[in-house]
């Protein structure tokens, strides 16, 4: 705990960094779209502008609707992953509990805890039990993968789920730098069968550009924790770099990887992730980086976003906003993301994670019990949203 406790003692000095924005760079001309504040009564116009223009999100004629509540009374739910039979696994960041929501009623039961995980939510920190992913071979190996903050590092572990009991975790990748803030934490299996993980730069921005460390990166590894074949840097798990704090990963139906990223004081980002590319932090925040740096596809003002979870469903990306207290839908056409539209602004508080459920709906978690929100009755909840 010594490292994390020391970081916690500096929390008062890092308050300004707890709101989110986004870094950026430029890999040539880009047609980015800047989302701007949208009131409920606004009549925004299409946003198809070039990289220096700003435009309002387009008006949606078929808005999503909250049609139910999957679960209530949760403590900072962070990760959600569905099993092949429709059951859902949910992680609680600060309690380090692993929950099983059993289909079809989604009754909640605790199946275990990750003993080495250290939650810092009661101190305002971001470390703890974070992302979860289900093995592509779950039917045979029963494996779940978790992103875990310990007293010494962030790490990825795997553990079997047998019935309603989680087996002993085995670490497969250790030594990811940890911090009081900016721990990344999202996991997603790609169409290639490899595990992708997002990490943060722990508040030490220089780590993002250092390809010799796993901080401030998107990683790509095998289920045993080895660098995946075909990674851009020999012998390294690093897939992309120059990230401040990525907390959302989603693959679209063209097998492309998208990531949502917290910035510092001005811009949050949505990025299209490509192997070996530099996404700019801390050299730039927002658009307009130098040669060899990749511009974000969408940028937001930090009051509108502070983006965490990201999901793909029916031709759109869905992004959950913490400080922005809303759910964003972003159209994807070709290799471009554009026309962001926001929903539920301020209605449910901070939104952390969004996932596509097997029935074609969205599950969205609130994050109001994390020390930075204002809990409402039933918080934290998992909302059932018809897109």
Task: Kindly tell me the sign of the dihedral angle through the C-alpha atoms of 48, 51, 53, 55.
Answer: positive
Length in residues, the chain = 387
pLDDT above 90: residue 332: yes
Residue located via tokens 């692993």: 98
pLDDT above 60: residue 39: no
- Give the pLDDT mean for 210-215: 98
Measured CA to CA, the distance from residue 210 to residue 206 in angstroms comes to 7
String of DSSP letters for 19-58: S-------SS----EE-----TT---------TT---PPP
Tokens representing 319 are 């992004």
pLDDT above 90: residue 326: yes
pLDDT of residue 123: 73
pLDDT in tens, 145-172: 999 999 999 999 999 999 999 999 999 9
Higher pLDDT, 269 or 23: 269
pLDDT of residue 186: 98
pLDDT in tens, 293-315: 999 999 998 888 999 999 999 99
Please give the domain boundaries of the chain with CATH numbers for all domains.
Answer: 75-323 (2.120.10.30)
Measured CA to CA, the distance from residue 219 to residue 154 in angstroms comes to 13
Q: In what order do the strands lie in the sheet with 267-273?
A: 33-34, 298-301, 267-273, 257-261, 246-251
Percent of the chain with pLDDT over 90: 75
Q: Which residues contact 169 (CB under 8 A, 6 or more apart)?
A: 114, 115, 116, 146, 148, 157, 158, 159
Q: How confident is the model at residue 61 (pLDDT cuts 50, 70, 90)?
A: low
For 47, 58, 247, 316, the CA distances from 20, given in Å and listed in that order, are 23, 23, 11, 23
- Give the pLDDT mean for 114-143: 91
pLDDT above 80: residue 175: yes
pLDDT of residue 302: 84
pLDDT of residue 291: 83
Of 55-69, 109-123, 230-244, minimum mean pLDDT range: 55-69
pLDDT of residue 114: 94
């Amino acid at each position: 705990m010594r490292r994390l406790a020391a970081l916690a003692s500096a929390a008062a000095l890092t308050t300004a960094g707890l709101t989110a924005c986004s870094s950026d760079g430029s890999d040539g001309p880009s047609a980015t779209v800047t989302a701007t504040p949208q009131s409920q009564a606004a009549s925004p116009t299409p946003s198809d502008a070039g990289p220096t223009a700003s435009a309002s999100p387009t008006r949606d004629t078929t808005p999503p609707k909250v049609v139910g509540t999957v679960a209530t009374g949760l403590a900072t739910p962070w990760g959600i992953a569905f099993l092949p039979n429709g059951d859902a696994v949910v992680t609680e960041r600060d309690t380090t509990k692993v929950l099983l929501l059993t289909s079809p009623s989604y009754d909640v039961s605790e199946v275990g805890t990750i003993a080495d995980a250290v939650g810092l939510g009661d101190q305002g920190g971001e470390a703890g039990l974070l992302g979860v992913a289900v093995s592509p071979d779950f039917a045979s190996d029963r494996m779940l993968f978790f992103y875990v903050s310990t007293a010494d590092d962030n790490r990825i572990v795997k553990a079997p789920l047998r019935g309603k009991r989680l087996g002993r975790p085995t670490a497969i990748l250790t030594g990811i730098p940890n911090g009081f803030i900016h721990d990344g934490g999202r996991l997603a299996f790609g169409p290639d069968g490899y595990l992708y993980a997002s990490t943060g730069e722990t508040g030490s921005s220089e780590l993002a550009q250092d390809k010799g460390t796993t901080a401030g990166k998107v990683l790509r590894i095998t289920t045993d924790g080895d660098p995946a074949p075909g990674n851009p840097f020999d012998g390294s798990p690093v897939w992309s770099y120059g990230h401040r704090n990525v907390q959302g990963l989603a693959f679209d139906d063209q097998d492309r990887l998208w990531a949502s990223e917290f910035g510092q004081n001005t811009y949050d980002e949505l990025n299209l992730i490509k192997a070996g590319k530099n996404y700019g932090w801390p050299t730039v925040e927002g658009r307009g980086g130098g040669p060899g740096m990749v511009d974000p596809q969408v940028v937001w003002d930090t009051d509108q976003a502070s983006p965490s979870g990201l999901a793909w469903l029916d031709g759109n990306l869905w992004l959950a906003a913490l400080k922005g207290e809303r759910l964003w839908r972003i159209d994807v056409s070709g290799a471009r993301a554009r026309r962001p539209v926001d929903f539920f602004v301020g209605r449910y508080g901070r939104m952390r994670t969004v996932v596509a459920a097997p029935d074609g709906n969205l599950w969205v978690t609130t994050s109001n019990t994390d020390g930075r929100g204002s809990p409402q009755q039933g918080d934290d909840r998992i909302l059932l949203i018809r897109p």
